[in-house]
Amino acid sequence: MLQDVAIAYNAGVGSPEKVVHGKTHKASGLHKFRRLKAAIDDRDWTADPSSAHSRWPSPATGFAMKKLRPNRSLPFVVLLLAGHPKAVASDGPVAVYLSKDLGVGTLSEVAKALERPLDDAWVVKLATGEKRKIKTCLDFLAVTKSRFELPNAVDWTTLWQQGAHCFALKALEDARPALRSNLGWFRFTKPGIAKLSPRLAWLESPDDLDEAMAAEKACHGWGNFDETLKIRVDGADRAALRSDGWSGRLFLYARADIDGDGLEDLLIRRDGHASGGTAAEARIFVVSQPSATGCTRVLREVGAPDALQPGQE
Ligand SMILES: [Ca+2]
């Protein structure tokens, strides 16, 4: 609820008292609550010395603000502003969220993390016949730029599953705190995930991909696109997925501006394996919402080259 106050404030809900043609127009919206507004304008989130500083709401929301001091007017403001149709965008730096699964505390640690050893070491054969050792994400990312093979084809999926983590770190290398967000609504919950782009689904044929792309364009969410999709959230940023023909896991790796346009993006990993089969894949998606009133879009996706790609026959 408190977040609605911040979002509504940022969205400029209401107007201050003004005099037009000699007539006084009363303040409206948040501007009616002068003490609260003055405290916000002063960035005085903790004017009450007895209130402890804390992050609010949870880091998973992508917001990090300190608690507003107790204020008599606050319950009324919350009632007034909750659900306001304009309250969808936020201005000002948006806190970066990084999953513990990434093993980095801040974006500045990402470059170093690419040098860490992978769970397994690999030897791959490049198309030129040259053998190359893969010990770190940097090694992995270098060989994925060209064709290569593994001595044991059984390892193929495992290598790409370990490598998904590397693609995620690579995507974050140039990420920065977002200036604005149209994703303030997104929480890592069942309804939140179901509203994301249907392109996060495991798409097994070019027809499936075409359908998912059309559904995304029409602003249909994943849950609407795949009515068999079952989501079980297992924590702040991980969920189990079950659908017709496949099951898997979803991870929210990060919230930050990944493509540099100033808007907040989601960095999501989706693992999947075929029900009753051996096929499996792990993919990394950069998801954003370009407009305040629109829906989410996959900006970028990356994974094993044998998986479907948009435009592929
Ligand atoms: Ca962005």
Mean pLDDT score across all residues of the chain: 79
Residue 307 pLDDT class (50, 70, 90 cuts) = low
Cα of 17 from ligand 1 centre, angstroms: 36
Which residues have a beta carbon within 5 Å of ligand 1, which is an ion? 257, 259, 261, 263, 265
Q: Which residue has the higher pLDDT, 90 or 150?
A: 150
Is pLDDT at 305 greater than 90 in this prediction?
A: no
Cα of 286 from ligand 1 centre, angstroms: 9
Cα of 258 from ligand 1 centre, angstroms: 5
Residue 22 pLDDT class (50, 70, 90 cuts) = low
**In degrees, to the nearest 5, what angle opens at C-alpha 4 toward C-alphas 231 and 31?**
170
- Beta-carbon contacts of 83 under 8 Å, excluding residues fewer than 6 positions away, are 4
Is pLDDT at 166 greater than 80 in this prediction?
A: yes
Cα of 261 from ligand 1 centre, angstroms: 5
This prediction has a pTM of 0.70
Cα of 31 from ligand 1 centre, angstroms: 31
Q: 74-81 and 2-10 helices cross at what angle (nearest 10)?
A: 70
**In degrees, to the nearest 5, what angle opens at C-alpha 84 toward C-alphas 78 and 85?**
165
The beta-carbon contacts of 224-232 under 8 Å, at least 24 apart in sequence, are: 224/194, 224/198, 225/198, 225/201, 226/198, 226/201, 229/194, 229/201, 231/190, 231/193, 231/194, 232/190
- What mean pLDDT do residues 15-39 have? 50
**What tens digit of pLDDT does each residue of 214-270 get?**
999 999 999 999 999 999 999 999 999 999 999 999 999 999 999 999 999 999 999
The answer to whether 303 and 282 have CB atoms below 8 angstroms apart is: yes
Segments making up each domain of the chain, as ranges: 2-87, 107-172, 185-302
The answer to whether 156 and 147 have CB atoms below 8 angstroms apart is: no
pLDDT for 23 equals 54
Cα of 257 from ligand 1 centre, angstroms: 4
Residue 197, phi then psi, degrees to nearest 5 = -60, 140
pLDDT for 185 equals 97
Cα of 36 from ligand 1 centre, angstroms: 31
